[in-house]
Amino acid sequence: MTKFSYLPLAAVLLLLAGCNQTPPATEQSAPAETAATPTTPEAAPAADTATAPAAAPATPAAAPAASTTQNLTISFAFKPGAAGPDRKTAAHLVVKGAKNQDIDLGQFSGKPDVVDKEKAKLAGFPGDMLMGFRSYDPGSGTSYDLAVMNVGGNTLRIVQRKVEEQADKAPEFQTSREVPLPANSVVQVAPAKK
């Protein structure tokens, strides 16, 4: 009879030991983690979303870098040269922006004629030029062509050629000078003065 009384008592003790809410001493090394850990599967996703913003703080490096563009306006300026029989004109490339520049392009015969896109195409100027001009010396039958191009957004390339009136074919333009531009420059051509 004593066997029957110990058996139900042992079963009740095992059942109570299995329902014990305190973990064994080996699992109590991180009590804060066990207290915050959800016990139901429905609570687990809610806990993950609640801690996600705190786990991924915004960093200044993740923000896109602010890029500032610098607007530049370019134009030609023609000034009469020294009085003389050859009637030379000084040509200048004027760059207006944060830092203004006046670039001497040299002396040309007569008053240079600024070419528009239509004239430039007929005369064989570079297709990607921003602006250009042609100077003609009637005494020698020679014309001098000059074009300004934007190369890579950070350089103005000035190209020139000398065209003889008797030449079968116009020579290629040659680079005469390159002018570095500030980073992030946007180049615009000033309207021609009439």
Q: CA–CA separation, 103 vs 88, rounded Å?
A: 17
Percent of the chain with pLDDT over 90: 41
**Residue 138 is assigned to a structural domain of this protein:** yes
**Residue 110 is assigned to a structural domain of this protein:** yes
Length of the chain, please? Answer: 194
Structural domains in the chain (count): 1
**Residue 92 is assigned to a structural domain of this protein:** yes
Give the SS3 label for residue 158: strand
Q: Output the CA torsion sign for 175, 180, 185, 191.
A: negative
Provide the 10 A C-beta neighbour count for residue 117.
Answer: 12
What pLDDT, in 10s, does the model give residues 150-170?
998 889 999 999 998 887 888
- Give me the amino acid identity at 75: S
**Residue 33 is assigned to a structural domain of this protein:** no
**Residue 4 is assigned to a structural domain of this protein:** no
**Residue 51 is assigned to a structural domain of this protein:** no
Residue 79, pLDDT > 80, answer: yes
**Residue 48 is assigned to a structural domain of this protein:** no
